Chain A
Amino acid sequence: MDYYDVVFSGFGGQGILLAGDVLAHAAMLESKHVTWMPSYGVEMRGGAASCTVVISSERIGSPFAEAPCCLFCMSKPSLFKYQDKVKEGGLLIVNTSFVEASLVTRKDVTKICLPASEIAHQQVGEHKMANMVMLGMLINACKVVGMEKTEAAMEEIFSGSKKKTLPRMIRAVRCGYEWQPTADNGPIEGTLP
């Protein structure tokens, strides 16, 4: 059985739930079983936000992840909360625009530290699309869904009034997908607005 679970975590307003939604939707288009389980505070922005996406070749029982295969992390509190839960040999993707890479202490996982907000700002002109840059990196690293279905999923999700953001959203995902981590994993040049 193929089984892959991801915890997306960060602050409310960063697009954490949306990033999970795109992955879940893409997995559905790949004909996988999938669940998307959100968890967030009462605040629209600034509170803790997370969601768990489970992707499987078979019917899914629990939609929660006790030891996720992958952590998608965009805030310090969520790194502290979930870092130790990641499965041994799992994957940890951290946005170093918000979280210093030195705080990632796990030695037994694959770490990808990327300054997603800076990348989004420089490449797409919108630092808020860091979630999509991170998602692109995740899709490349975990190999559970393909880029083609991811784009198809985004076309379905960003329809109607959201359609005008679609081209830039897709560009942000592609930037993350193609991004080559630098040796020191530090921020790339350029500053946030």
Chain B
Amino acid sequence: MMRGSIALAEGAITAGCRYYFGYPITPQNEISEHLSALLPEVGGVFMQAESEIASINMLLGAAAVGARAMTSSSGPGISLMQEGLSYMAGSELPALIVNITRLGPGLGGIAACQGDYWQATRGGGHGDYRIIVLAPNSVQEMYSLTIKAFHLADKFRNPAMILADAILGQMKEPVTLSPPEVEIPAKPWALTGAKGRNPQLIKSLFLADGEMEKHIRHMHEKYRRLEETEVLVETDLEEQMDLLLVSFGSCSRMVASAVALARSRGFRVGLVRPITLFPFPADTVRQVSRLAGKVLTVEMNTGQMWDDVRLSVYPGCQCRLLARPGGSIPTPYQILEEIEKFIKAGDSLAKSVR
């Protein structure tokens, strides 16, 4: 049994992460606290920086020399990091950024919320880029997806983010740990000192004619490859379905309970849970929505993933949204009520924010 935040920290150590830079903020301090104890034991470095801006730039430096490194923060801190994150994406530097979100804009409360979906999946900072975004929904996944995030970051030379919230950070569940990794893939591009080889340069701006377009297209090609090969999605479907639910992260736990309740009352419903938010499981949503005809998205915000769902559904599907922003959590019975209403009424595209 361990807390999600602790599992995430353990996952980082298992993945061979040896450098952490961060600045305290609730509700993710357990990650830093645990890593401050674990990292020195494995010969790593734990650095409490003077600010989030310093943290992300230290992370950039560590990534540039080829280290497995990470930072973690929450809403306001992640906003401060966006400039550095944009630089890292533009410079193609792999690292893990963890966002245990806050709720609302501005200072933000510490209760669970999914209001950072757009910021995470649209890049977040300036420029034409994406980051890899993984959304765990259990303590086990806080562990295993952290390991996965380091793999994907290195494989695609791109920053990766774990997007979770206070529910996943604070909750305890049983976890199965895997053996530690010792092999980290070779990074011939890393800045390791030019002894015995030509000097290398890592940068995000290319001034020669057409170079910048080439660079952006190369990055875009990478994102296309991510979409083709690295989508992770969990589905719980029936052969015949009258309604499909789509939900991610902690919210999908309440939806899973609602699905069980709905089935026990004879409703034929399915659930698609995107695990990678970027790349988004658009193909799965399209194929399954075709079978169901009606798609209900449930989110703990005012409807952000709903954009991606509507872009992905099979043409002609009816889409509805159950949204609980501001730290409210939809209860399984509230979701059940919405399922029942949608299946029975079947009206057109309508937003329902409760």
Are B254 and A24 within 8 A (Cβ)? no
A37: B residues at CB distance < 8 A: 167, 170-172
A174 on the B face (CB < 8 A)? no
Are A66 and B332 within 8 A (Cβ)? yes
Instruction: Given A21-B1, A64-B329, A66-B332, decide whether A38 and B170 contact each other with a Cβ distance below 8 A.
Output: yes
- Report Cα–Cα, A34/B172, bound state, in Å: 8
A-B contact list, 17 entries, CB within 8 Å: A21-B1, A21-B172, A24-B172, A28-B174, A33-B174, A34-B1, A37-B170, A59-B256, A61-B254, A61-B260, A62-B253, A62-B254, A62-B257, A62-B332, A63-B171, A64-B331, A66-B333
Are A66 and B331 within 8 A (Cβ)? yes
- Report Cα–Cα, A33/B173, bound state, in Å: 8
- 10 A-B pairs besides A24-B1, A61-B257 with CB distance below 8 A are A33-B174, A34-B174, A35-B171, A35-B173, A36-B1, A61-B255, A61-B256, A61-B260, A63-B253, A66-B333
Task: Find the B residue at minimum CB distance from A67.
Answer: B333
Are B256 and A63 within 8 A (Cβ)? no
- Report Cα–Cα, A117/B253, bound state, in Å: 37
- Report Cα–Cα, A62/B252, bound state, in Å: 8
A111: B residues at CB distance < 8 A: none
- Report Cα–Cα, A97/B281, bound state, in Å: 55
A127 on the B face (CB < 8 A)? no
- Report Cα–Cα, A169/B72, bound state, in Å: 37
Task: Find the A residue at minimum CB distance from B111.
Answer: A39
Q: Report the 3 A-B pairs with minimum CB-CB distance, sorted nearest first.
A: A61-B257, A61-B256, A36-B172
* Residues of chain A whose beta carbon lies under 8 Å from any beta carbon of chain B: 21, 24-25, 28, 33-38, 59-64, 66
B-side interface size class: 10 to 19
B170: A residues at CB distance < 8 A: 37-38
Please report whether the interface of chain A is mostly helix, strand, loop or mixed according to DSSP.
Answer: mixed
- Report Cα–Cα, A63/B165, bound state, in Å: 14
* In the complex, chain B residues 1-30 whose Cβ is within 8 Å of any chain A Cβ: 1
A38: B residues at CB distance < 8 A: 170-171
A66: B residues at CB distance < 8 A: 331-333
B1: A residues at CB distance < 8 A: 21, 24-25, 28, 34, 36
Are B172 and A35 within 8 A (Cβ)? yes
Q: Closest Cβ of chain A: how far from B328's Cβ, in Å? A: 12
Task: Find the B residue at minimum CB distance from A32.
Answer: B174
Are A36 and B173 within 8 A (Cβ)? yes
- Report Cα–Cα, A64/B255, bound state, in Å: 12
Q: Closest Cβ of chain A: how far from B14's Cβ, in Å? A: 20
* In the complex, chain B residues 297-353 whose Cβ is within 8 Å of any chain A Cβ: 329, 331-333
B258: A residues at CB distance < 8 A: 61
A36: B residues at CB distance < 8 A: 1, 171-173
- Report Cα–Cα, A33/B171, bound state, in Å: 13
Q: Closest Cβ of chain A: how far from B142's Cβ, in Å? A: 13
Q: Closest Cβ of chain B: how far from A155's Cβ, in Å? A: 14
A21: B residues at CB distance < 8 A: 1, 172
A60: B residues at CB distance < 8 A: 253
B254: A residues at CB distance < 8 A: 61-62, 64
- Report Cα–Cα, A66/B12, bound state, in Å: 34
Residue of B1, B258, B329, B333 with highest tally of chain A CB at under 10 A = B1
- Report Cα–Cα, A25/B175, bound state, in Å: 12
Q: Closest Cβ of chain A: how far from B251's Cβ, in Å? A: 10
Q: Closest Cβ of chain B: how far from A44's Cβ, in Å? A: 15
- Report Cα–Cα, A35/B256, bound state, in Å: 15
- Report Cα–Cα, A25/B254, bound state, in Å: 22
- Report Cα–Cα, A161/B260, bound state, in Å: 43
- Report Cα–Cα, A37/B329, bound state, in Å: 14
- Report Cα–Cα, A66/B329, bound state, in Å: 11
Task: Find the A residue at minimum CB distance from B333.
Answer: A66
- Binary A-proximity of B149-192 (CB < 8 A = 1, otherwise 0): 00000000000000000010011111000000000000000000
Checking B172, B173, B253 against A61 with a beta-carbon cut-off of 8 angstroms, the contacting residue is B253
- Report Cα–Cα, A62/B298, bound state, in Å: 14
B257: A residues at CB distance < 8 A: 61-62
A61: B residues at CB distance < 8 A: 253-260, 332
- Report Cα–Cα, A62/B352, bound state, in Å: 22
